[in-house]
Homo-oligomer: A and B are copies of this chain.
Amino acid sequence: MTVKGLTLPELVDACALAGVDWVGLWREPVREYGVGAAARLVREAGLGVSTLCRGGFLTATGAADRAAALEDNRAAVREAAELGTDTLVLVCGGLPPEDRDLRSARGRIADALEVLAPYAAEHGVRLAIEPLHPMFASDRCAVSTLEQALDLAEAFPADRVGVCVDTYHVWWDDHAPAQLDRAARAGRVHAFQLADWVTPLPEGVLNGRGQLGDGVIDLRGWHARVDAAGYPGPVEVELFSDVLWQRDGRELLTETVARYLVHAAP
């Protein structure tokens, strides 16, 4: 998503040039290209798929909407398996219209996980619940903290449901370091993503993330915490940014690798 402007073949080439061995893919461009074709493309390039983003949106109240959401998530699981990644990231959904109850929304997420976690496991895929910054609580994700994500995940074995830790979403939370330890002890850190926090936020607040080093997050500190927690996986950089997306994707990828080394790498 950092280099949204690149086609999948361009992305694969750019990763090779930049020395990037893993890539987190999003469903929309993968489905547009064809899941099987995308899987061959990355496999033949020797590129690992760190995660597929994203399943989720599990908070609907109506039976038909809930059934449709489950079916869409089963499709996401199959796509993840076909792409060869073991991790499907979940953005769990916000409040449906007229609903004001975040706790009940999280209850419906828990119910959906009861269905999806075994299904994913049958396909060799684990689910990674991503807490989103509280500014997204109403319209995107009722899971706002690592603590809430782990409360949901711990109803399942660690190899089935864990969490996705994104610095952009958790940096402000003074409970997050302890919750990261809690996740690590249980082997539930299934994905780690970096983005920096910059202000002013743009309208809609979705696409205002900062290039690594441009913002206020202690990225190196968070990386060290995740390393100390024993997270063995790839590190993703996910920069939703209308500003960065205006630039050439190859140049942006090269810059991002350099920024990672200067501002985040141990």
Chain A interface (Cβ < 8 Å from any Cβ of B): 95, 99-103, 133-135, 137-139, 144-145, 148, 172-174, 197, 199-205, 215-218, 221
Q: Which of B101, B144, B197 contacts A218 (CB 8 A)?
A: B101
Known A102-B174, A138-B172, A201-B201; further 12 A-B contacts with Cβ < 8 A? A100-B216, A100-B221, A101-B218, A102-B172, A103-B174, A135-B201, A137-B172, A138-B199, A144-B172, A200-B203, A200-B204, A205-B205
Determine whether the beta carbon of A138 is less than 8 Å from that of B99: no
**21 A-B pairs, CB-CB below 8 angstroms?**
A100-B217, A100-B221, A101-B218, A133-B134, A134-B173, A135-B135, A137-B172, A138-B197, A138-B199, A138-B215, A139-B199, A139-B200, A144-B172, A144-B173, A145-B174, A148-B174, A200-B203, A200-B205, A201-B203, A203-B203, A205-B205
User: Which B residues lie within 8 Å of A144 (CB)?
Assistant: 172-173
Question: Chain A: interface secondary structure?
Answer: loop
User: Which B residues lie within 8 Å of A199 (CB)?
Assistant: 138-139
User: Which B residues lie within 8 Å of A215 (CB)?
Assistant: 138
Cα A95 to Cα B198 with chains together (Å):
12
Q: Which of B100, B102, B205, B221 contacts A135 (CB 8 A)?
A: B205
**Nearest-neighbor residue (CB-CB) of A106 within chain B:** B174
Determine whether the beta carbon of B138 is less than 8 Å from that of A135: no
User: Which B residues lie within 8 Å of A133 (CB)?
Assistant: 134-135
Determine whether the beta carbon of A95 is less than 8 Å from that of B216: yes
Determine whether the beta carbon of B203 is less than 8 Å from that of A138: no
Cα A245 to Cα B141 with chains together (Å):
30
**Nearest-neighbor residue (CB-CB) of A204 within chain B:** B200
User: Which B residues lie within 8 Å of A218 (CB)?
Assistant: 100-101
Give min CB distance, A168 to chain B, whole Å.
11
User: Which B residues lie within 8 Å of A138 (CB)?
Assistant: 172, 197, 199, 215-216
User: Which B residues lie within 8 Å of A203 (CB)?
Assistant: 200-203
User: Which B residues lie within 8 Å of A102 (CB)?
Assistant: 172, 174
Cα A133 to Cα B134 with chains together (Å):
8
Count chain B CB atoms within 10 A of each CB in A138, A173, A202, A218 and give the residue with the most.
Answer: A138
**Nearest-neighbor residue (CB-CB) of A170 within chain B:** B134
Q: Which of B145, B148, B201 contacts A205 (CB 8 A)?
A: B201
